Amino acid sequence: MSDTNIIKDLKSKGLKLNNSRMQILELFLGNHRSHSAPELVELLKMKMDRATVYRNLNFFVENKILDQIQLQGETPKYELAALEHHHHLICKHCKKISSIQSKSLENALETTTNEIKDFTITDHVFEFYGLCKDCLNNEE
Amino acid sequence: MSDTNIIKDLKSKGLKLNNSRMQILELFLGNHRSHSAPELVELLKMKMDRATVYRNLNFFVENKILDQIQLQGETPKYELAALEHHHHLICKHCKKISSIQSKSLENALETTTNEIKDFTITDHVFEFYGLCKDCLNNEE
DNA sequence: ATTGCTGCAAATCCTTTGCAATGTA
DNA sequence: TACATTGCAAAGGATTTGCAGCAAT
């Protein structure tokens, strides 16, 4: 979905996009990366209050515009809600997050789901930690 | 590794197990489950200070006696450092955590690791959310 | 005597909340 | 007018820290 479609989609859901919400959304549309709440509060500190940032992040998550993702040992991050199912690669060195899709993983998930008898899996989170190419090259 | 071996292992690492540490460890050895810091603080509140609980949890994590695991939207939990590699099943209803091992998942992980060119995976976290048998039966 | 561990209280960080004021349909 | 959204300040929960005293080697 393109950026303008995201906005259309919001309106079709009857959601109101006022100034504050637009400014938060623009940050995400501008770089398609993930941001933590404290990071956004800092970026927007001259434009709106901390409470407004938090309230609108929650609003976006409730309305499935943003996903909240919780990586190991970090404060939650937000990213544009995934249209395609994907997983995260987190560089332990530079902390950059990239995403992947893997057919073999999804197949294995299906197998696992069927294997398990006394639990019904409805959702899953796979996270991969390691080193991105840049950090691997610029090794210290 | 058996419980007494865990303690031997600690000593062989030159780690000191004083009273406080022993009491914390006993909670984990007693039920082999995961506990959050606030939960442990509560359980141990007549025996030691909150700061001691936190300091020793960090001590155990640094020394790889406990693992810290961060589930979606919850405060971190601690569990005995995995002797066998495993993953977590989290019941969305009662929040109980159980663990699984899956050959197919590990195989898929290997395939994925090889597929990916510009990132070197060293660790991974797979979490499964859903409903446990009990909650599925006692449906509301 | 030196080093490490503890309790206590205060501080810090992240997030939420109450309330009065403002904006918008 | 009615309802949603904001800013501000305060509160809340989890975790860390400074410091003085105690424990152990």
Q: A135: domain CATH number? A: 3.30.1490.190
* Residue indicated by tokens 């995976």: B121
pLDDT value of position B140: 47
Helix (H) or strand (E) holding B124: strand B119-132
Mean of pLDDT values over B61-80? 95
Quick one: B44 and B65 in the same domain?
yes
| Beta pairing partners, B91 | B130
| pLDDT of B52 strictly over 50 | yes
CA of A102, closest CA in chain B: separation in Å? 7
Quick one: A11 and A67 in the same domain?
yes
Mean of pLDDT values over B76-81? 96
A62-85: pLDDT as tens digits: 999 999 999 999 999 999 998 789
Quick one: A45 and A101 in the same domain?
no
Quick one: A43 and A104 in the same domain?
no
> What's the order of all strands across the beta sheet hosting B77-80?
B35-36, B77-80, B66-69
Domain boundary, last residue among B80, B105, B126: B80
Mean of pLDDT values over B99-108? 91
Q: Which of A9, A53, A17, A11 is nearest to A35 (CA)?
A: A53
Which residue segment(s) compose the domain that B28 sits in? 3-80
Q: What average pLDDT does the structure give for chain B?
A: 91
| pLDDT of A140 strictly over 60 | no
| pLDDT of B1 strictly over 70 | no
More confident residue, A10 or A77: A77
Give dist(CA A70, CA A73) in Å, integer: 8
Quick one: B75 and B8 in the same domain?
yes
Quick one: A72 and A7 in the same domain?
yes
pLDDT value of position B79: 96
Most A-contacting residue of B106, B113, B115, B120 (CB-CB within 10 A), to test interface: B120
Phi, psi (deg, nearest 5) at residue A122 = -115, -25
**Could you tell me which chain B residue has the CA closest to the CA of A121?**
B130
Domain boundary, last residue among B35, B58, B80: B80
Quick one: A106 and A73 in the same domain?
no
Q: A34: domain CATH number? A: 1.10.10.10
Quick one: A12 and A69 in the same domain?
yes
Instruction: Please give the interface size between A and B, counted as residue pairs whose CB atoms are below 8 Å apart.
Output: 121
Quick one: B108 and B44 in the same domain?
no
- Of the pLDDT bands very low, low, confident and very high (cuts 50, 70, 90), residue A139 is low
Work out how many domains chain A is built from and give that number. 2
Of A102, A126, A129, the CB nearest to B122: A129
pLDDT value of position A1: 55
Quick one: A61 and A127 in the same domain?
no
- Of the pLDDT bands very low, low, confident and very high (cuts 50, 70, 90), residue A5 is confident
Amino acid at residue number A105: L
Quick one: B9 and B45 in the same domain?
yes
> What is residue B107's three-state secondary structure?
helix
Q: Can you give A48-96 as a three-state secondary structure string?
A: CCHHHHHHHHHHHHHCCCEEEECCCCCCCEEEECCCCCCEEEEECCCCC
